[in-house]
Structure 1
């Protein structure tokens, strides 16, 4: 039997830190490119059919708050249970310098109030900073390595995690025009993996924008 809780715990994709803030400058072409290719509806169906150790996961990234910056409302769910997502988040994508970009993550205090609102994105106008909580110490730093391709990871042992006896979590991410590869793992204080995929990350293929 698959250890669903251990595996799904690791599919966070972009674990991040820092605080929400208003956009202060015009996006660069590279930042626009990253935000554009991230958004959409993804599935890991192909991977789940090829390897039974992986689940068919639905991943939705819906742009919100365009006047404030680059924010995505994110829902992840078992594909045939999309009305009951196991993860609801807000991601902020920003640019650190000429070569580095940052993905930040926020949890929601009343996430059930926002499930399924991707169908009417204007509903997120009522979502405020006060409704969210920042996950500290877990940003993914991404670099643009080619056109429509960004890759990066969390810092080494910088992201705390207490799930399943973990001490810290690591995340490795690659974003391309139509795919996202995400490998999230939790480790205990001795460096033993206690949650997340063990062979490779999850392979999400974009279904539609």
Structure 2
């Protein structure tokens, strides 16, 4: 009887300690898992953001709907962008062009986008810079051409010319329609087109694959001298687009 009593007591103590030890181990595993996950997230997130932004910028999109709603202020434009090269540090280079939808083979604006993580000290996720192209004529309809008929990545990198603007993009808060949004820093960047002294850019990459882009130029007195006034251009994916990254 006494042995029985002592045996039952030691069992309950043992199982109690076993449960406690199991709980401690589980807690340690959960905490350890969280630390590992945090480390993994920290080390990959900046480049994940970069990849998502580069993918969102790519493709063929049109401002057709906006132009039909408000033809006095918005043209029916084509946005076309695609990957062109990758820098040694992992920064992605995209080729971009704007054209009127009736004359897609005659772009009026051609740029390189450089997409990379924001510097760690800045409160943003992705840095998107635009550059002029050394010989823009050679790049017309770059994305529409077979890959073997385009300038190759090493040529692309060699043809990156003057830095024009930089937009700092931040991931949008949960519940908003956008994925990323941002703008040029206060004061914009130097620009001399059509009487301007500086320009600003705002960009939103939307969850439905739209791109909202608003570029404006201002003179010395702060008067807007180019760009639309009512709000950003809204580029929507082309219905028949078969673009594949």
Two-structure CA RMSD over aligned residues (Å): 2.1
Question: Which residue of structure 1 aligns with residue 39 of structure 2?
Answer: none
How big is the shift at 1:146? 4.4
Distance (Å, rounded) in 2 between the aligned partners of 1:134 and 1:167: 16
SS at match of 1:65: strand
Off by >4 Å, runs of 4+ in structure 1 = none
Bigger relative CO (Cα 8 Å, ≥ 6 apart): 1
Aligned to 1:175, which of 205, 216, 222? 205
What is the TM-score when the length of structure 2 is the normalising length?
0.69
Q: 169-178 or 123-132, which moves further after superposition? A: 123-132
2:158 paired with 1:130 = yes
Return the match for 1:188 from 203, 219, 223: 219
Q: CA deviation at 1:124?
A: 2.9
TM-score normalized with structure 1 length: 0.80
- SS of the residue corresponding to residue 231 of structure 2 reads coil
Q: How many residue pairs align between the two structures?
A: 184
Of 65, 68, 71, 1:49 maps to 68
Unaligned stretches of 5+ in structure 1?
Answer: 1-24
Structure 1 or 2: more strand by fraction: 1
The Cα shift of 1:99 comes to 3.8
User: Counterpart of 1:17?
Assistant: none
CA radius of gyration, larger in = 2
Q: Which runs of 5+ in 2 are unaligned?
A: 1-42
